[in-house]
Amino acid sequence: MVATRLECALPLAQVLHGSPARLAVARENCPGLAALADVLVAEAQSGRCGSQLAMARLFEAMLVLVLRRAIDAGPPDPGLLAGLSHPRLHRALIAIHAAPARPWTVEMLSAEAGMSRSRFMADFSDCLGTSPLAYVTRWRLGLAHIALIQGASIPVAARSVGYGTTAGFRRAWLRHFGDIPLAAVVSGPAEHPIL
State the greatest distance between any 2 C-alpha atoms of the chain, in Å, as a whole number.
Answer: 56
pLDDT digits (tens, 9 = 90+) for 52-93: 889 888 888 887 887 777 777 766 677 888 888 888 999 999
Amino acid identity, residue 182?
Answer: L
Phi, psi values for residue 51, rounded to 5°: -60, -40
| pLDDT in the model for residue 195 | 35
pLDDT digits (tens, 9 = 90+) for 99-121: 999 999 999 999 999 999 999 99
Whether the per-residue pLDDT at 150 is higher than 70: the answer is yes
Q: Are 120 and 126 in contact (CB under 8 A)?
A: no
